[in-house]
A = this chain, B = another copy of it.
Amino acid sequence: MTLIAAADGSSLGNPGPMGWCWYVDEGCWGAGGARSGTNNIGELLAVAELLDASSQAGRAGEPLRVLCDSQYVINSVTKWMPGWKRKGWKKADGKPVLNRDILERIDTALAGRDVTFEWVKGHAGHRENEAADERARAAAEAYQAGAKPNTGPGFQGPAQAAEPLHSDTDASDVDDAALGESEQHDPDVAPESPQRLLRDLEAALWGQGPTPAVTASRREELLHDEASGVDVHGSFLSRHELLEHFASVVGRDDLLAGVASMDAVQVVTLAANTCLVTSRIEFVDGTVQRTSSVWVYARLVQNERTWQLRHHHATLVSNGAFA
C-alpha cells in the first residue's frame, strides 16, 4: 500500500526555535526540533526523519508519496541535487550549497526506495499539510519554552483506528444515512440546509460517498433536463455528453481509473433553489480536477422536487508533480 505523508517545518523568527513534523494520520506521525534553526532546515529535516522512520519500521519497500509545501525542498531533492553532486556542491554563483549535510542524508535514505514528492500549497486547507504544520509549530514552540516537544507515536501505533482522511469539513455530521430516499416535504422552497445533501449528491455522481452504487437511472434523475457542462478539454457538453462523462468514470472496477477522493467541497447558496458546489477531485491515476457545479431544486413531472445538476465545469489541476 502506498504511504502518503505530509512533511513540514517551522522556525519562529527565522532563524529561531525550529520544529519539524511528518504526518501520515492521527495514529502515525513524528515531530522534533531544535533550540534554533532556519525554516528550510526544518523543512528538510521533516523529510529526512520521515524517510528514516518509515525505513526503521520496515516499510521501505512500499511506495512513499511526500506532500510538501516547500519548493526549495522538492527542487533541491529532485532537480538540483544531481547537478550539485556532479559539480562539487557549488551553486550557480559558485558558492557552496547550504544545508548540504541534511541533503546528503536524504539522498542516502532515498537509495533503492520509490519516493515521489508532490507540492501542496501551504495554508490552503490541505488536511495533512495543516496537520504537519501545526505539529511542527508546536514542536518549535516547545523548544522556545525550553520544554521537550511531543514527538508523536511514530510508525507503529496499535491505535490503528486510523480514519484515512475522511474529509469531514464540519463537525456537524452525525447521522443522515443514505440521503437519497429521505425527505419529502413538498414545499416550493428547498430544504433548509441543503449543504450536506448536495455534498452527498455531488459525491454520488462520482461514485463516492455513502450511496453505494450509482445506477445509470439514478444518474439520469440527477441531471437536469437542460443540463450542460464543460470538460477538462474545454469542450462544451450537452446533457447527453455530460451523462457519458460521468458514466465513463464511475462504474468501472479496475484500479487504473475512477475517483480516488473528493476534497475541499464547498456548497454556497445562490438563491432559494439554486446552489453552487465547488470541489477538488483526485483520480486514481493521480490527476486532479477542480470542479464547479450548479444545482437547482427543480420540479419534476409528478410535482415532486429534487436537486438536479444544471451545469458542471471541470478544469485539470496542473500542480507540478515532481518525481
Could you tell me which A residues sit within 8 Å of B by CB distance? 226, 228, 230-236, 264, 268, 270-274, 276, 278, 280, 288-292, 294, 296, 310-311, 313-319
Contact = CB atoms under 8 A, between A and B. Distances in A.
Contact of A314 (B264, B271, B315, B319): B315
Contacts of A289: 234
Main SS class of interface, A: strand
A310 to B, nearest CB: 6
Nearest to A232: B315
Nearest to A288: B234
A298 to B, nearest CB: 10
A234 B270 contact: no
Contacts of A311: 268, 276, 278, 292
Nearest to A231: B315
A279 to B, nearest CB: 10
A270 B230 contact: no
Contacts of A313: 230, 292, 313, 315
Contact of A271 (B231, B233, B272): B272
Given A226-B268, A274-B271, A234 B310 contact: no
A276 B294 CA distance: 9
A261 to B, nearest CB: 15
A270 B270 contact: yes
Given A270-B270, A271-B271, A296-B270, A278 B315 contact: no
12 contacts: A226-B268, A230-B290, A230-B291, A233-B315, A234-B288, A234-B316, A268-B310, A271-B274, A276-B294, A292-B294, A294-B294, A314-B315
Contact of A310 (B235, B264, B270, B316): B270
Contacts of A292: 230, 292, 294, 311, 313
- Identify the 10 closest CB pairs spanning chains A and B, nearest first: A234-B317, A234-B290, A313-B313, A292-B313, A271-B271, A271-B274, A234-B315, A315-B315, A230-B290, A274-B274
Nearest to A228: B278
Contacts of A317: 233-235
Given A313-B313, A313-B315, A315-B313, A290 B236 contact: yes
Contact of A230 (B228, B236, B271, B315): B315
Contacts of A236: 264, 278, 280, 290
Nearest to A229: B292
A268 B310 CA distance: 10
Contacts of A291: 230
